[in-house]
A and B are shown apart, each in its own frame.
Chain A
Amino acid sequence: MAQIFEITVNGEPRQVEAEADLPLIYVLRNELGLTGTRYGCGLEQCGSCMVLIDGEPSYACARAMDSVAGRTVQTIEDLGTVADPHPLQQAFLDEQAGQCGYCLSGILISAKALLDRNPSPSRADIVAALDGHLCRCGAHSRIIRAVDRAAAMLRGEGGV
């Protein structure tokens, strides 16, 4: 039986009608048009679908709607745009971190959560924060560098 759920998505309160066990990713992509959240496996194994729920990185492919009710969801669309990129997105551009790019939405989300709680992460911290993500193209080392660069930018060390 479908129910009405209230969630806040990228700062806006939304009402969604959905089955209680419907994974959040379907709502984001098919109901709300937020297609930047990517499907990879549906199994919490690849990290492509990562979103922030109350600030915590969470697999949208496995979060049932009734566990998201009343909460705040943040997706890649809230980070920045092509015209006005978030420092993380800018750092990924500066490092040219990515090949096919399919993994990047999810990775940017986990990176944001990391930098929100730890402005000066070590390489090991970055790796730990991203270890739930797969990248098949092998862009890893650039991605690690990009997160490091973004951290420096956000600390105000713009000249990296």
Chain B
Amino acid sequence: MSVEKVDLPLSLTVNPRLEQWLKFETDETVRVATGKVEIGQGVVTALSQIAAEELDLPLDRVVMLSGDSDEGPDERYTSSSLSIMVSGASIRLVCAEARALLVARAALRLNCSAAQLSVADGRFFVDGAASDISYWSVAPEIDWGQTATGSVAPKAPAEYRIVGQNVPRQDLPAKLAGGAYIYDRIPDDVVHARMLRQPGRDAVLRALDEAAVRHAAGGEIEIFQRGNFVAFLGADERSVEAAAAAAVAHAKWANAPDIEPGQQGAAWLRGQPSDDRQYGAEVNPDAPGEVVEARFSRPYIAHASLAPSCALAQFSGEHLTIWSHGQGMHPLRRNIAEVLELPIEAITAKHLNGPGCYGHNGADDVALDVAIIAMHKPGSCIRLQWRREEEFGFEPFGPAMLVDLRVRLDEEGRPADWTAEVWSPTHVQRPGTGSGFLLAAAALPNPPAAPVPQDPLEEAGGGGTRNATPYYDIPKTRILHHLVTAPPVRTSALRTLGALPNVFALEAMIDDLAIRAGADPLDYRLSMLSDPRARAVLKTVAKRADWSQRGKGGEGQGLGLAFARYKNTAAYAAVAVALRVDEQVHLDHIWVVADGGLVINPDGVRNQLEGGAIQGASWTLKEQVTMLGQGVTSLDWDSYPILRFSEIPEIEAEVLNQPEQPSLGVGECSVSPTAAAIGNSVAHALGHRIHDMPLSRERIMAALLN
């Protein structure tokens, strides 16, 4: 194996010791630890493939430990499609180094050179002849406390036998047999809990009609109050559920929010107080050339996980253990330690499977809720599940966005300069990464100061500005970003952040400019797209969708396409959508073609591409959070509909194989181009552009009347 100097991935810098990643167990398996967690994306399976590959072991000898704040590495949150790029790169280097150490040690024991050794199933062979030693017999002689150097070169992709294969997800069998979730953990003497939520961070509880609440509960309950934090506890889950449901109407709050009718719309954002920044080139407003402008919008949307968030906690009197389906156990325990004023080491946070979260939903908040209650009842295991209305009402939402595009054309009708002006509340309020705090902290005595919103840095892909800069060859591009600081609801990370509205807007503009230039939208794109990988996904999707046979449009049948490279640095994706429009949109077929560099598990990636396309379609066609008065009013699946089985088109997802290219995060890349391709396909079908999401029945009807 050659030795070279490597820049260590961040996870390995933060968790430098080999033992933080690897443990050779006495049962002849290897425990490989990751801070990333399974959220339905198949990441744990993919990481096990990388480990098995570098260790030269069959997959069943690798046992993954994921999301354990005591025993696993701190890799912050599972987010931004970074798991394979960061955790995968770390595991690859660590395993390559471990293998080299084991081989060197075995060579010493067998008195041969490392070059004479080969490994099969963890056993050493000298010049092809079996020896009596294995990884597991040699491992105890190695100091695993040593720091990873990252200097052992991993295998060349041409040697891969496990990476790049379709490996079935390890978590699915148990899930299909009715097991595997945090929700299944109901200890015999568990104390069930439900919350009365403070309607806003400044709201003060003036009165709670406890008698009425107890009456509604039906069974025995305890009411626990600390400041504006109120919980109902008891042995019977239904009683605490009934108490919490009834309490909403029996609580009187001062200083509750009072949301006005216009505030739920994106249009409201313009003119609100904002933190303003400018990125990119200077653009001369008086330069010659025709200027084309358009305004696009997207309302607040929800994560809308299929189950309301849940957590368990138990305080021994000294140590607090938390079970959670959040996206990062290390940050969770840090954040909870801060609120509870406990030393970090006094808390253990363990991950258990939950419903898909698609970003920052209620999972972290419910963990603080239950921790507060557990501290009040030492010895008891507390189980808290949010009510459905609570998840819909209090999750941090995907922000509404308003996007103004202003494009100056050159003589060929191509963009000479491009300005995207974006209004949006922040896209990240994960405690510890930006400005937010765990929800219940505001209800306790001495609440934290109001957060000063920040967005992810531009280097990290930005938030409201994510993908606002076109990937096309345009001489001058700039972004004017208005980070709206006081939105009516809490907002935070939701799959793709601002990329969906930005790509929806920019790819609509590109289509409209193509029409204006008398060009085919595909040819127009290719005429200003020099990156060969971008061209390849676009051309392939066009072939799959039979683009050359596309009709002239305007008669209710649409075919549209769109392209984006996620964050302009991660995976490439092109999407084509065929649909029909009568009073509403009927999706017929979605084609997705992506390039994510080296792919660890192609079927796992296709699964993500398909899911992303459906979620993107659902946001584009149907979803909108409504709010009025004290808060959110879309509190169930009737008032917050999502795409159903009867609305699902045929979907084909294809991954272009690029084993020699580094892995690029793929989990989010199909979402935004799907939204944009639907927008373009609807415009093709109607002969009329709809600029505002969702593309609802009302908007279609209005467009038809036009």
**Interface, chain A (partner B; CB < 8 A):** 19, 22-23, 26, 29-30, 33-43, 45-46, 48, 75-77, 79-82, 85, 89, 92-93, 96, 98-105, 108, 127-128, 130-131, 133-144
Contacts and interface: CB of A to CB of B under 8 A. Distances in A.
19 contacts: A26-B238, A35-B181, A36-B177, A40-B388, A41-B636, A43-B637, A46-B306, A48-B306, A48-B307, A77-B177, A82-B173, A98-B169, A100-B355, A101-B353, A102-B355, A127-B645, A138-B643, A139-B611, A141-B610
B106 interface: no
Nearest to A105: B178
B407 interface: no
A96 B172 contact: yes
Given A93-B173, A141-B651, 20 more contacts: A23-B238, A26-B237, A30-B237, A38-B183, A45-B637, A45-B638, A77-B177, A92-B172, A96-B169, A99-B40, A100-B39, A101-B172, A102-B306, A102-B307, A102-B354, A103-B306, A127-B645, A133-B645, A136-B355, A138-B613
Nearest to A78: B178
Interface in B647-688: 648, 650-651
B644 interface: yes
B615 A136 contact: yes
A133 B644 CA distance: 8
Given A29-B186, A76-B177, A98-B175, A128 B646 contact: yes
A139 B177 contact: no
A93 B168 contact: yes
B577 to A, nearest CB: 14
Contacts of B613: 138
Interface string B554-580: 000000000000000000000000000
A81 B177 contact: yes
Contacts of A76: 177-178
A41 B218 CA distance: 21
B107 interface: no
A77 B650 contact: no
Report which residue of A99, A103, A140 has the largest number of chain B beta carbons within 10 angstroms of its beta carbon.
Answer: A99
A60 to B, nearest CB: 13
Interface in B610-636: 610-615, 618, 636
A82 B642 CA distance: 31
Contacts of A102: 175, 181, 306-307, 354-356
B176 interface: yes
A45 B607 contact: no
B385 interface: yes
Nearest to B608: A99
Contacts of A48: 306-307
Contact of A131 (B176, B308, B355, B644): B644
A98 B388 contact: no
Interface of B: 39-42, 168-169, 171-181, 183-184, 186, 218, 237-238, 304-308, 353-356, 358, 385, 388, 603-604, 607-608, 610-615, 618, 636-638, 642-646, 648, 650-651
A46 B304 CA distance: 11
A39 B636 contact: no
A114 B308 CA distance: 28
Contact of A22 (B174, B180, B238): B238
A142 B172 contact: no
A102 B356 CA distance: 8
B174 A100 contact: no
Contacts of B305: 136
Contacts of A103: 306
Contacts of B611: 99, 137-139
Contacts of B353: 100-101
A15 to B, nearest CB: 18
Contacts of A105: 178
Contacts of B385: 39
Contacts of B177: 36, 76-77, 79-82, 85, 89
B637 A134 contact: yes
